[in-house]
Amino acid sequence: MDRYREVSIRKEVLLEGYAGVLVRFLDYFEREHIDPETAVGDSNVFLFLQAVEICRSVVNMDSIEEVLEAEGQFKMLRRVANRLNGYPVDAPV
């Protein structure tokens, strides 16, 4: 598989994963009555906003190194989102 195709496929999978992570954060916020727009200083809101920014930046990534870094960040954010919702930390999203 050529590099361009590998990057493209990994980005697609990563975007789907980030979508799941964002939903898990939003589920937690809804359950806990947290408004991410107004909960300035909440560490979980900060992580949610980081996930949003990474998700937005994935579209513009063109190197495997960038994608690998975003994958590492995804794994950490998935663990946090899963923990907040009572799922096993490595549960798929």
> What pTM was estimated for this model as a whole?
0.90
With H, G, I as helix, E, B as strand and everything else as coil, classify residue 93: coil
Domains and CATH numbers, the chain: 3-84 (1.10.8.130)
Surface-to-core class of residue 92, CB atoms within 10 Å of its CB (0-12 exposed, 13-18 middle, 19+ buried): exposed
How many helical (H) and strand (E) elements, i.e. helices and strands, does the chain have? 3, 0
What are 16-53's pLDDT values in tens digits?
A: 999 999 999 999 999 999 999 999 899 999 999 999 99
